[in-house]
Amino acid sequence: MMAANGKKIWMDGRLVNFADAHVHVLSHTLHYGVGLFEGIRAYPTTRGAAVFRLKEHVQRLITSAKFYHMTIPYSAAEIEEAILQTQAANGIIPSYIRPLVYRGEPALGVKNLEGKVSLAIAVIPAKKYLGDSSEAGVRAKISPFRKPHSDANPSFAKASGNYINSYLAGVDALKEGYEEAILLDANGYLAEGTGENIFLVRDGTLYTPGLESDILVGVTRDSVIHLATDLGYPVVQKLLSVNELISADEAFFTGTYAEIAPIKEVGSYTIGVGAPGPVTRKVMTAFQRALRGEDAKYASWLSPVPALPRATVRARG
């Protein structure tokens, strides 16, 4: 579990003290899960603190809001600026950044289109989502809980309510002694982890579930596809079976908080040699170089954090 502590939280254009960031107990988002969020990371780099793939995360947040008819009262550029302000105000590095779009006013009733749409941004210290030993490989199990079809819950939207499914799968795995769960899609093919995408490696080719498996289109997933391709490894997106996972040479999770976490076991089966394989290690190294600013090819993925907070962004209207 992540320790949620920090100095300042950005709420609708104001930086407030961490302890004073409140919403009403009858807020629509709290009761119905109709909220959107992002997980973003900031790292120390060769040129100072920087946020990793900020633009892509903000664009996904805006896309998520469209699915749920929630008009964010800020442009993409304004949201990016607010995130950089909040990161600077907290001075935490490395950090995990959580923007949240929500309706915080008291309003019960499922079909709420009138409530005020708010934006909050928090910054907390980053820790390993799957544990400090996750780089050596995690133990996972196939979850009895399936990923809902996108006809039920749009998988392209990073919606708060979608993670009830992840909670059930994750808690089931933890209670059985595993670090993570792997969810199948509605048709029994591999989908993703509770908060990560998944990759398999076979004969030097990377495989990952495609959009037809109702996955969240991960930003780290996209980063890995680019990095692996640049390293000369083919990447194939397709339907993947449990058999393909169990017989893979290597497998790993990808996610903003998890970064790249090798999978050493699935249930009673050992993946490959039960340790990070050569392809996984090369991708992990390339990823770490990119986020630390050590590879100029990926410099555009880093947004420098200002030394001090600038004037806060105000909502339009």
Check which CATH number belongs to the domain holding 152 and give it.
3.20.10.10
The answer as to whether 82 is a domain residue is yes
> Do residue 143 and residue 72 come from a single domain?
no
- The CATH number linked to 73 is 3.30.470.10
* DSSP assigned state of 20: G
Is 111 annotated as catalytic? no
The answer as to whether 307 is a domain residue is no
> Do residue 98 and residue 172 come from a single domain?
no
> Do residue 86 and residue 66 come from a single domain?
yes
Quote the CA–CA distance of 7 and 4 in Å, as a whole number: 11
Domain of residue 164 covers 134-295
The answer as to whether 289 is a domain residue is yes
The answer as to whether 275 is a domain residue is yes
The total of structural domains in the chain comes to 2
Cis peptide before 99 (omega within 30 of 0): no
The answer as to whether 301 is a domain residue is no
Beta bridge partners of 14: 11
Using the Cα atoms of residue 206, residue 208, residue 212 and residue 217 in order, give the sign of their dihedral: negative
> Do residue 220 and residue 286 come from a single domain?
yes
> Do residue 198 and residue 270 come from a single domain?
yes
Catalytic annotation, pick one of 158, 175, 238, 264: 158
Long-range contacts of 135-138 (CB under 8 A, 24+ apart): 135/261, 135/262, 135/276, 135/284, 136/262, 136/264, 136/275, 136/276, 137/261, 137/262, 137/263, 137/264, 137/265, 137/274, 137/275, 137/276, 138/178, 138/179, 138/180, 138/253, 138/261, 138/262, 138/263, 138/264
Name the nearest CA neighbour of 280 among 186, 206, 194, 175. 206
Tell me the one-letter amino acid at 93: I
**Which of 97, 127, 157 delimits the end of a domain?**
127
**Cβ 61 vs Cβ 278: under 8 Å:** no
Q: Which helix (H) or strand (E) holds 260?
A: strand 259-266
* DSSP assigned state of 159: B
> Do residue 291 and residue 146 come from a single domain?
yes
User: Given this model, what pLDDT does residue 32 score?
Assistant: 96
Digit-coded pLDDT (tens) for 286-315: 999 999 999 999 999 999 999 876 666 777
> Do residue 122 and residue 146 come from a single domain?
no
The answer as to whether 22 is a domain residue is yes
> Do residue 96 and residue 200 come from a single domain?
no
> Do residue 90 and residue 201 come from a single domain?
no
Query: HSE on the CB side for 294, CA within 13 Å?
Result: 9
Mean pLDDT by groups of 10 residues along the chain of 317 residues: 76 95 96 97 95 98 97 97 96 96 94 93 87 83 96 94 97 97 98 98 98 97 98 98 98 95 97 97 97 97 87 67
Quote the CA–CA distance of 89 and 53 in Å, as a whole number: 20
Q: Give me the residue label for tokens 């200002």.
A: 306
